Amino acid sequence: MIKKVFLLSLILFLGSTTNASNRVTYTRPGDMLKIPSSSLSRSPYLFQTGFGSEIHNFSPLNTSKGGYFNMETGKSGFLFGFSFTMAADTTQRAHLKESSYTAPVEFGFHIQKRVYTYQDVSISLGLQDIVFQNTEESSQLSLNSDELSLFAVVSSEKEVGLYKMNTYLGFGTGSLGPISTPQFDDDGSPQTVANDTGSTAGVFVGFILNTPYFARWGGIDLVGEFDGTGINVGLRIPLTSDYRLSLGFTHIDKLPHFGDSYWAGHPGVTLGLDMAVPRAIIQEPVVQRFGGPSPFVGDPRKLYPIEGETITAQRDSTLRIADFVVHSLRDSMSLMNNEMRNLIVQLSAMEQNSMFLEDSLKSLKLDQNVQNKNENDALRHLSRSLRFFYTGDYRGALQEVEAALELNPNLALAYARRGSIYYKLGDVQRATIDWNLALRLDAEYDDVRNILKALHENRLRTTSVIKE
């Protein structure tokens, strides 16, 4: 029956062509400023209520204001809303203080239904601004058919890291269409009215970016939209998990006309406050579930709610707290990942140091092997020099000693042997120098010390030279 009434309403008001509008921000169902929205799932709230206002002039103060109430039914997916608004004073700015204008109070009804969902996309159809207002001609409420707004909206919900992005695209008639733009005189008074587009239907787009700031209470929302006439931006700040403060600007592209007389598309500063009441749970008696007089430990009524009413009174707050805990765990995981990366870097540095020490050890072993080889070769040259020395070939012996010193210049025995060869060749001065070098390299070389002592005492005989 409800579906039939809804479809009949759509058919009746499809031909609405007049383009009057008095949409005050935050007074229509949804989270946007002025445009409709859609969602993938049922709202976690039993109902939402609040107020919104637009400041169109500060001195003297000129505002439009209103309030709203909306709720979503169970499985049918219908969203019903009620709003009341009062437009701003249309008197010229210079005469606002003396103005006796009383804006009509409008009572509006709104209905929409989610008709299609697929993955992260949903589509909703609806009818807004079924407005009843009092006029100067009559004290009774009358239907204002000029503001009837038939619309369709497509939404997409995405998650980007810790951020959540909802985007909306749709079209609508009536107050969702482009608003006629008045022409103003130099004093700011309206002159004529001209419709820029000549159309009674318009396209609207918008987005909500949910940020992780104040994640415990649901996060701060950044709102931006084009309502068919101008660009609106807003900020929704959670005061608690159930209360939100809304701030923003409407029609910022028309801010140069802020000082002009009020009209439906006038720019303004917005302020709103809304309250959301979470759904309650309907519980069954314990005996119906467990068939006994003794209560189950842990209160099983909380464990087995009735089907279709599984959303508890604290579900929204609990989900927000759980979301905060998940974000905290993500931070902890990120910290652990950073620590793991630091440990990996330290391990890599230690491995490099280990490889460096291993290379150094190999180099030392190589140097030691080269040194041992040179020492063995030097000793072989000294052995051959000794044979030449015994046979009287002192020049050959001297060449072998020189070869030994090239391989190992720190060999004391080689200097002592060369000193003996020089002594045999009659060069006592060079012999003395080599014997002193040998004694310097090996201070415990007693044979060399005795030779130098005997040389000093002029007791050295030819046969006393070193032949080892």
Q: What is the pLDDT along the chain (468 residues), one digit of tens a residue?
A: 444 444 444 433 333 333 344 578 888 888 899 999 999 888 888 899 999 999 888 878 888 899 999 999 877 779 999 999 888 877 777 677 777 777 788 899 999 999 999 989 999 999 998 888 876 666 677 787 778 889 999 999 999 889 999 999 999 988 888 876 666 655 555 554 444 444 578 899 999 999 999 888 889 999 999 988 889 999 999 999 889 999 999 999 888 877 777 777 788 899 999 999 888 755 544 444 444 444 444 444 444 444 444 444 445 566 767 777 888 888 889 899 999 999 999 999 999 999 999 999 988 888 888 878 888 888 888 888 888 888 888 888 888 888 888 888 888 888 888 988 888 888 888 889 989 988 888 888 888 888 888 888 775 554 344 544
The total domain count for the chain is 2
Q: Does residue 350 lie in a domain region? A: no
346-365, pLDDT tens digit by residue?
Answer: 999 999 999 999 999 988 88
CATH number at residue 216: 2.40.160.40
Closest to 34 measured CA to CA, from 269, 306, 231: 231
Q: Structural domain of residue 395, as residue ranges? A: 364-464
207-218, pLDDT tens digit by residue?
Answer: 999 999 988 888
pTM of the model: 0.55
CATH number at residue 393: 1.25.40.10
Q: Of the residues 279, 302, 321, which one is the last residue of a structural domain? A: 279
User: Which residues have CB under 8 Å from 436's CB, separation 6+?
Assistant: 452
So what's the pLDDT on residue 377? 85
| DSSP reduced 3-state for 75 | coil
Q: Does residue 452 lie in a domain region? A: yes
Q: Of the residues 230, 264, 279, which one is the last residue of a structural domain? A: 279
Give me the half-sphere count of Cα atoms (radius 13 Å) on the Cβ side of residue 437: 19
**Residue 75 near residue 69 (C-beta atoms within 8 A):** no
Q: Of the residues 256, 279, 302, which one is the last residue of a structural domain? A: 279
How far apart CA 364 and CA 341 sit, in angstroms, is 34
So what's the pLDDT on residue 185? 58
